[in-house]
A and B are shown apart, each in its own frame.
Chain A
Amino acid sequence: MNRFFLGLAAVLLVSGLGVVAFSQRPWLPLENVEQPVPFSHRVHAGVNKIPCQYCHEYARRSRTSGVPPVQRCVGCHGSAVSGGLLPITRPWADHGHPSFEIRWNRVYTLPDFVKFTHRPHINAGLACQTCHGPVETMDRLVPVYEINMGFCLDCHNKRGATQDCEVCHH
């Protein structure tokens, strides 16, 4: 009898671990992501009204929206010639990397088996906020929506977009 319960316990433990592991869903947006630079979307997109795609310039052309190159930051924040980087108040932590390389921490990510592409969504006129929430009000970027398949399909349903599984999973 003891052995039976031991076995049962083992099975339960293993399946429990499996459930826990699966419920982690490591590709969901992360809540508490600190960045190496105290960058504020509120200041940039909200106060200064910089269009999203000024920095995330690949969104309409590519799968990924892109993270702005450091050159884009420097373009506004001055340059070495004009007297250094102006309002960036704190240097980024990672100094072991090539000069001026910034290692941002991801907030949004998708698993390999989801082939989301920004290009058709942006070109269909969707606002970035539809999925990313009111980014222009956030100092630190936090996810508003849990981006999962239900979230995608809700919208695809409403708008009559494709519901073919293979379109995202291939």
Chain B
Amino acid sequence: MVQPMPIRAKFYKVGSLQFISHLDLVRTMTRNLTRAGIPAWYSQGFNPRLKLTFSLPLSIGTQSECEFFDIRLVEPMELDEVKRRINETLTDEMKIVDVYQSERKFSDIAWAEYEIRMTSPKFSSETADALRELYTNPLTLVKRSKSGEKEVDILPYIDLRDCKFDGESIVINAFLSADSADYLNPEYLIKGAEQKLGITFDDPFTEFYTIMRREVYLADKVIVFR
């Protein structure tokens, strides 16, 4: 093969693997690709490294159904075979769902859709109403970024789609900005609930929340990134 062929893999990372950091994921996946016998392209030089690029960062404690990485093949291999081989090296909590060629760049990702479930015996449909109010009005929080901490109104980065009480939990569906410049970590929605509404997540047996990244989109919020 003259030119290495770029390919993209879409995978999920759920359950206990939500606690594995991005750096550890990169290390693990590199090793898995070797183990799977994928003819992936290595950077040249004294200390060759397998070239592997991931899409959005995923913070510890967030699960995802739509993670991506790119590699380049230096020898031809059926894409289904690539998927099958990598999946053999993975556990049930992380599996490749698709391997394909893509024209899109990771920087095309503009929005990410999340499902956030908050559980507490104190919750009711009034809590859902208060949260809906909270996420659809200006919401000023201290936001951390590379340039330091500052107070930011995060409303422009939230597009709340649904917020309801299902009898046990509050189920929130929201599009959050996933632009590299304006990336909003879903934990800020939890922070907002704690700081502005006094919601607590203290006792892990009764008060807890889970976050699932469901899908990522282009700037129009309609076309699914792939």
Physical interaction between A and B: no
B positions within 8 Å CB-CB of A: none
